[in-house]
Amino acid sequence: MKRRTLQYSRFLALLLVFALMVGVVSAQGDRKVLVDAGNAVGASDVPTLDPSLATDTSSIQVLIETNPGLTRINEVTLETEPSMATWTVSDDGLVYTFSIMPEVPWVKYNAETDAVEQVLDENGNVRYVTAEDFAYGIRRSIGGQLGSYYGGIMASWVVNGDAVYAGELPVEELGVEVLDTYTLQITASKPAAFLSTIFGMWQAYAQPAWVIEEYGDFWYEPESFQGYGPFTLKEWIHGESITIIKNPFWPGTENIPVPALDEVKMMVLEASAALANFEAGAADVSIVPLSDIDRIQADPVLSEAYYVGPGSCTYIYGINTAKPPLDDARVRQALSMSINRQALIDNVTKGGQQPAFFFARPSLAAAPHQEDYPEYVLGEDVEVARELLQSYLDERGITLDQMEPITLAHNESEGHARIAQAIQQMWTEALGITVEIQTQEWAVYLETIKSDDAPQVFRYGWCLDYPDAHNFLFDVFDSQVRELGINWNNEDAAEFDSLVEQAMVEPDMQTRTDLYAQAENLLTNKDAAIIPIYYYTSLNLTQPWVQRTHSQFGQEYFEKWDIDLSARP
Amino acid sequence: MTSNLKRSTAAAAIPGLNAETKPESLWRSSVQRLTRNRSAVVGLAIILLTILVAVFAPQLAPMDYKTQVLSDANTAPRWVTQVFPVMRPADDGGYVKINETYLLGADRLGRDLFSRIIYGTRVSLMVAFVGPLVALIVGLTLGLVSGYVGGWVDNVIMRFTDIMYAFPTLLLVILLMSFFRSSLGNVEPGTFAFQVGELDRASGGMLFIFIGVGLTSWMQTARLTRGQVLFVREQEYITAARAIGSPTWPILTRHILPNILGPIVVAETLTIPRYISFEAFLSFIGLGVNPPTPSWGAMISEGAGAISTYPNQAIFPALALFLVMFSFNFLGDGLRDALDPRMRGIE
Amino acid sequence: MGKYIVRRLLWLVLVLFVVSAITFIMMRLVPGGPFNTERGVPPAIIANLERRYNLDAPLIEQYVDYVAGLALPRITDSSFRRSVAEDYLINIPLDFLGEGTALRWMNFGPSLTRRSQTVTAIISDTLPVSMQLGTAALLVGVLIGVPLGIFAALRRNTWGDFVGMGVAILGVSVPAIILGPILQYVFGVGLGWLPVTGWGSFAQVIMPAFALGFAQSALIARLTRASLLQVLNEDYIRTARAKGLHNRTVIIVHALKNALIPVVTVLGPLAAALLTGTFVVEIIFGIPGLGKFFVNSIINRDYTIIMGTVLLYAAVLVFANLIVDIVYAWIDPRIRYT
């Protein structure tokens, strides 16, 4: 028996040595490889790398680096700036002419040589990114019958877009024209201040027609993927990580410099595993799990790495305005007024979020700031809330106990559950009403909240696609495209529609802001068709050896980042 | 030499045999063996205690399980911070606010952990009994029929059992959940459907889920039962009963069932930890109990996300779970040892 | 024996057929579909997508098409191109019939939510990972469980038994959900010995295998204990003991071999469960395994992945049981299959 134990311990020692060896081998030498445990975290995989199909932040994060658009959003100022092209607009605001940067080659990572190579055409010449490639991308998104969500968004802004999207007109009828190799002209269906941003979105990125034709649905797997931006796709281990590598042929522009990093490896991880990696020094950037914020803030090392900045989303409770007792604006107002948003933020959500009374985030162009329009802000007042509820009950001649029960639904998630339970208690304490919380599994939830029979109150969030108030107020609540508030059909809703439609085409910024403020007044105050709760912040942890920028719109520009190798342990 | 040896081993192995002459009843000897098994007795005691805790939760819990004091969220008494060194108190340069009101600390919403663990006993015990009970009923019935009737019936049932092994339980859970949480949420009070919904709500939405889980977990029981029946039906007293023309049903219920029930019930108790783990797994993927109803599984999976910051929120419910699992296991093992006739005499 | 195996394999086909039908019906009864997103896709587009994936056909037709695509082998010539709609798991080149000719079998169809991936590709990418993880976990389970079971059995009803079984039960009752993060913080962050997450190197296998195998070790320990106790009471052991053989020799040489038979029987279902039941560990340790895809496919209503993984699970289970039965017969000569 003694000899056996000895053998075991020798075996264990061997295992340990082996483990250490493996650990040493995986060190990265002097290449600047950034391990990012932030931007793809929480997903089970990066869903797609097809610009026509991407809808989620991680897919768009990769594409923004591999296939930059005609224009792009500055990550700090949120203004639209030239990217692959500069542009001019006709006087009527309808014709956009883009001059594309000449001689930017298409590139591909070659796994055998471990190098990024220029793509050659059938005659052996370098393939450059042309107006035709952008036109192809736009036509494919809108007219490719792919079920592209953002193709649909863009369709409404391009001449004949909606008809092409619906398959009623051939794709050639689309208002997109190639004037010469490097000049693209897009004719808009209606003018708007934010069109240059829309035409720079991912569904309008240049796409390699020759690759898509040859490889079909598999074209964006690493074996065939081609890009042209500061980085290109190197490796994609589904469900584990996706790696982009520096493109040495990227010329570098004022807005998109030549990257200092050699590679960025985005890990697909669960939030607390991301943090553990960061703490072990295995990740350079990490997201911040809600439950660890207290410790991070108190920890001398982690608190230095902790960053809180403006986010890109608004957290709201949607309401089914057809279901009693929430079919009466007074009850809705009472619910909204009896939420103590600051207490919720301080004790539950923690990350320094801002209490919201308007739906559109203040960082958006033309979005009214709630401080500037105090008369439109519903505010919080438990006394008034009680009176409102009482006047409703008196009018119906019922008591609180006879009022219909209220259901608050959210999709399953730790964070939503905490918020819902805290708000449930606030309502019970302030108004004496009982609220039942219903948790639903994601796919079921999506069906439920969009049906006529949606629960009275349900969680919803909206993140910006392009930084304009239109993206929030029109895209979510206008009855033409309405995402939410299906049962919101009264005169206020009609007036809301006319206000946001007016604001869409209004050229003067101040007038637009005023119009949106009036719309917010109807949506969140007078009719209280939704309950805004807070504006998100973006939280992250960054190791001290990483120099970076902090984006306010959901994606990062890694070409502006660097790693100080001498400071990295 | 040989005969001597046999006698001496037999005597050594069965000490009571030579000394006692009066016949020992099976039941009594089983009880005796069980009570002599210290770990089984401890297990039984803990389970009985847990049941009492579940029944008298409102009397035992110092606070309400759902009252939140948001300003007390994540606070802990000093002794907890001493047990878990990561939890440095705020007055010592750490982040944990000290609050002695809560015995084990407060959770992320400022609810008393201890009270939630006490109330959590209800759902967790419900899960521990409902699933195995359903599995027992189905498995026993199918196993009895299969083993006793034999022939093509046996064949069909056993092949059905094989299929059920591969049944996607998670899919069924989601199906049940979407049914109970959306359809039953919208029925008129007073109807039967409403009563059913109320029952489901009282269990935090877990009752029917675990009936469903039980309905897909009876295969081992059915196989075991069938095996036992095959063994018992060849015994003389059954053959005799059949020979005098007793109808099938009484033979099954009066003669066969009592003889095989013991080991099967025991085997079933050994599956209990699986059901409790499954409840925790459902919480992990977000399909667990409806809040604010507490269950140990839900508390553990919620707390696990914060294990590096507030380990007490996961470890304490895990300890409660451990204690009960431990008890079920020891009781199960003890019962098996006690009831298995082949185990008689080894002490 | 040969006949028996053939019969069992034929039976496998029937099991898979019935399981596929049940799964197909159930997943369609669940509300929600693969193309629903938070943003809400216009109905016209959903219709478009459903047409593309044949989801607008009558259910029975969809089912028949699916089964036909999966079960019927086909011979393709050089014009065959792998696509999302046609991607076969088994491809046998038949070059003697002409350049590029091949026999292809088992097309699991395209994933409905990951448009560049086929279920075949997902299975062939993730199954090896899950198999490695499952095997490592099983090894951990056996290496901890069997010695613990023996230890407890030999010290029956003493504190040793109590503690031994306590350790084993700790395994079942500390689910991987909580054990995983604890291991990560102790060995990954605190001691820095092992990588916190990831897959590929030996060092990355240790923690997940332990997190997964520890729970299994409890089951194995309990079975070993019970079965060893039973065996120790058999006549031949008493005989051996009485012959004056050393106690340890008796246990190792005579008792253990027989005691392990029931342990072997549970290894089959256990192996199958480990193969697909690794979701929690895969999520915690960031491992690109099959469990993750299975659970997510159910949540995303990715019908083809659900079907593919359920069928795979069923096949593995039936196979594992078959292998166990064969091993069983090999260990215990009294068992004969006809």
pLDDT in tens, C108-162: 988 888 878 889 988 888 888 888 888 898 899 889 888 888 888 887 777 877 7
One-letter amino acid identity for A169? L
Pairs of residues, one from chain A and one from chain C, whose beta carbons lie less than 8 Å apart: 149
| Nearest CA-CA distance, residue A426 and chain B, Å | 9
How far is C-alpha C220 from the chain's CA centre?
17
Which stretches of A156-273 are assigned E, i.e. beta strand? 176-180, 183-187, 231-237, 241-246, 263-267
A311–chain C nearest CA distance, Å: 19
Q: How many CB atoms lie within 10 A of CB A502?
A: 15
Rounded CA gap, A17 and A10, in Å?
A: 11
Identify the DSSP state of A79. -
| Angle, alpha carbons C258-C259-C260 (nearest 5°) | 90
Domains annotated on chain B, with CATH: 26-67+111-343 (1.10.3720.10)
Selected residue of C177, C230, C233 to mutate for chain B interface (largest B Cβ count, 10 A): C177
Chains that touch A (3 or more CB pairs under 8 A): B, C
Percent of chain C topping pLDDT 70: 87
Query: Which of A41, A455, A451, A483 is closest to A267 using CA atoms?
Result: A41
| CA-based nearest distance B328→chain C, Å | 10
Q: What is the pLDDT of residue B182?
A: 60
Region for residue C58 given its phi and psi (left: phi exceeds 0; alpha: psi -120 to 50; beta: otherwise): beta
> At a CB cut-off of 8 Å and minimum separation 6, what does B13 contact?
B345, B346, C233, C238
Query: What is the sign, positive or negative, of the torsion defined by CA atoms of A443, A444, A446, A447?
Result: positive
C-beta atoms of C286 and A280 within 8 A: no
The reported pLDDT for the residue numbered B134 is 93
Q: Is the pLDDT of residue B139 over 60?
A: yes
Is B254's pLDDT higher than 90?
A: no
Chain B contacts of A279, Cβ < 8 Å? 308
C14 is a domain residue: no
Cβ neighbours of B345 in C, within 8 Å: 233
pLDDT digits (tens, 9 = 90+) for A551-561: 888 889 999 99
Q: Which residues pair with A409 in a beta bridge?
A: A438, A458
What mean pLDDT is predicted for residues B27-34?
Answer: 72
Interchain proximity C177–B325, CB inside 8 Å: no
- B153, B147 contact by CB (below 8 A): no
The Cα–Cα gap between C82 and A215 comes to 9
B260: which 2 tokens? 């095989």
DSSP result, A508-554:
-HHHHHHHHHHHHIIIIIIS--EEEEEEEEEEEEE-TTEE----SSS
Closest CA to A464 of C39, B49, B29: C39
Tally of structural domains, chain C: 1
With respect to residue C30, please indicate whether it lies within any of the assigned structural domains: no
Provide the shortest C-alpha distance from residue B102 to chain C (in Å): 23
Q: Is residue C145 within 8 Å of residue C221, measured between CB atoms?
A: yes
- Is C319 part of any domain? yes
| R_g (Cα) of chain B, nearest Å | 25
Q: Do C222 and B333 touch (CB under 8 A)?
A: yes
| pLDDT at position B4 | 38
A residues 19-78 closer than 8 Å to C (CB): 19-20, 22-23, 26, 44-45, 47-50, 53, 55
CATH number at residue C264: 1.10.3720.10
pLDDT confidence of residue A486: 66
Closest CA to A554 of A69, A62, A53: A62
**pLDDT tens digits for C184-228?**
988 988 888 899 888 888 889 999 999 888 888 877 887 888 778
Higher pLDDT, C1 or B265: B265
Contact between chains at B170 and C298 (C-beta distance less than 8 A): yes
Ramachandran sector of residue A160 (left: φ over 0; alpha: ψ -120 to 50; beta: rest): left
Q: Is the peptide bond before A105 cis (omega within 30 degrees of 0)?
A: no
As given in the structure block, the two tokens for residue B76 are 């802990």
pLDDT at B10 exceeding the cut of 60: no
Residue C42 in domain: no
Burial class (CB in 10 A: 0-12, 13-18, 19+), A89: middle
> Cα distance from B137 to chain C (closest Cα, Å)?
22
Q: Which residues pair with A116 in a beta bridge?
A: A109
Domain presence at residue C66: no
Cβ–Cβ under 8 Å, residues C313 and B185: no
A253 secondary structure, DSSP code: -
CA nearest to B298, candidates B75, B131, B113: B113
**What is the structure's pLDDT at A476?**
87
Q: Using alpha carbons, list the distances in angstroms from residue B231 to A366, B120, C328.
A: 82, 42, 20
Residue C171 above 80 pLDDT?
no
Which stretch of DSSP H or E encloses residue A285?
Answer: strand A285-286
Q: How far apart are CA A359 and CA A500, in angstroms?
A: 13
Quickly state the pLDDT bin for B313 (edges 50, 70, 90): very high
Helix then strand count (H, E) for chain A reads 18, 21
Interface test with A, best of B64, B67, B108 (most A CBs within 10 A): B108
Q: For residue B90, which residues of chain A lie inside 8 Å, CB to CB? A: 298
CA distance C276 to C269: 11
CB A435 within 8 A of CB A429: no
Would you call A50 and C110 a contact, using CB atoms and an 8 Å cutoff?
no
Contact B291 A420 (CB under 8 A): yes
Which residues of chain A are within 8 Å of residue B109 when distances are taken between CB atoms? 347-348, 418, 421-422
- Eight-class DSSP state of A558: G
Neighbours of C224 (CB within 10 A): 27
Q: What is the pLDDT along chain A (569 residues), one digit of tens a residue?
A: 344 443 444 444 444 444 444 444 444 568 899 999 887 766 677 888 999 988 888 889 999 999 999 999 998 888 899 999 999 999 999 999 999 999 999 999 999 999 999 999 999 999 999 999 999 999 999 988 887 888 888 998 999 998 998 888 999 999 999 999 999 999 999 998 889 999 999 999 999 999 999 988 889 999 999 999 999 999 998 888 999 999 999 999 999 999 999 999 999 888 888 999 999 999 999 989 888 898 999 899 999 999 998 888 999 999 999 888 999 999 999 999 999 999 999 888 888 899 999 999 998 989 999 999 999 999 999 999 999 999 999 999 999 888 988 999 988 777 888 899 899 989 999 999 988 888 777 777 877 887 778 889 999 988 888 889 999 999 888 887 766 666 788 888 899 999 999 998 888 889 999 999 999 999 999 999 999 999 999 899 999 999 999 988 888 999 999 999 988 88
Q: Do C77 and C101 contact (CB within 8 A), yes or no?
A: yes
Q: For position C294, what pLDDT does the model report?
A: 83
**Chain C residues with CB-CB distance to B343 below 8 A:** 229-230, 233
Pick from A279, A347, A413: CB nearest B286: A413
**Looking at beta carbons, which residues of chain B come within 8 Å of C11?**
159, 162
Tokens of C259: 């005691």
- Which residues in chain C have their CB less than 8 angstroms from residue A279's CB? 189
CB atoms C114 and A166 under 8 Å: no
| Structural domain span for residue C130 | 119-331
Name chain C contacts of A220, Cβ cutoff 8 Å.
116
| Sign of the four-CA dihedral A61, A63, A68, A72 | negative
Cβ-defined contact of A291 to B306 (cutoff 8 Å)? yes
**Chain C touched by A162 (CB under 8 Å):** no
- pLDDT value at residue A6: 38
- Give long-range contacts, CB 8 A cutoff, 24+ apart: A248-254: A248/A116, A249/A104, A249/A105, A249/A107, A249/A116, A249/A118, A250/A104, A251/A101, A251/A103, A251/A104, A253/A82, A253/A83, A253/A101
Query: What does pLDDT average to over chain C?
Result: 81
Alpha-carbon gap, residue C263 to C267, rounded angstroms: 7
Confidence band of B184 (pLDDT split at 50, 70, 90)? low
- The answer to whether the CB of A539 falls within 8 A of the CB of A552 is no
* Overall average pLDDT of the B266-286 stretch: 80
- Give the pairing type, strands C102-107 and C88-93: antiparallel
Interface test with A, best of C115, C123, C296 (most A CBs within 10 A): C115
Residues β-bridged to residue A37? A286
- The answer to whether C192 faces chain A, any CB pair under 8 Å, is yes
Buried b (16+ CB within 10 A) or exposed e, B275-302: bbbbbbbbbbbbbbbbbbbbbbbbbbbb
Asked whether residue C284 is assigned to any structural domain, the reply reads yes
| Higher-pLDDT residue of C249, B296 | B296
What is the residue type of C79?
Answer: S
Nearest residue on chain B to A274, alpha-carbon basis: B305
What are the distances in angstroms from CA C314 to CA B160, C6, C21? 13, 17, 13
Domains and CATH numbers, chain A: 31-274+543-567 (3.40.190.10), 309-537 (3.10.105.10)
DSSP label at residue B186: G
B-chain residue closest to C299, CA distance: B174
Lowest mean pLDDT among B164-168, C164-168, C236-240, C313-317: C236-240
Indicate whether C199 belongs to any domain: yes
Q: Name chain A contacts of C41, Cβ cutoff 8 Å.
A: 147, 149, 152
| Dist. CA C70–CA C118, nearest whole Å | 13
**CA nearest C268 in B: which residue?**
B165
Distances (CA, A) of B54 to A524, B49, B60, B125, B278: 45, 9, 9, 8, 20
Smallest Cβ–Cβ distance between C196 and the set A219, A280, A447 belongs to: A280
Given a contact cutoff of 8 angstroms between Cβ atoms, the answer to whether A306 and A541 are in contact is yes
Best mutation site among B111, B170, B309, B312 for testing chain A: the one with the most A CBs within 10 Å?
Answer: B309
Q: Provide φ and ψ at A482, rounded to 5°.
A: -45, 120
Q: Which residues contact A244 (CB under 8 A, 6 or more apart)?
A: A62, A65, A66, A231, A232, A233, A234, A263, A264, A266, A558
Inter-residue contact C149 to C165 (CB < 8 Å): no
CB contact under 8 A, C165 and B39: yes
Q: Taking 70 as the threshold, does the pLDDT of residue B20 lie above it?
A: no
pLDDT at B9 over 50: no
In angstroms, rounded to a whole number, what is the distance separating the alpha carbons of residues B275 and B124?
9
> What ipTM does the predicted assembly reach?
0.83
Which of A298, A412, A425 is closest, CB to CB, to B287?
Answer: A412
Q: Convert the pLDDT of each residue in A225-244 to its tens digit.
A: 999 999 999 999 888 899 99
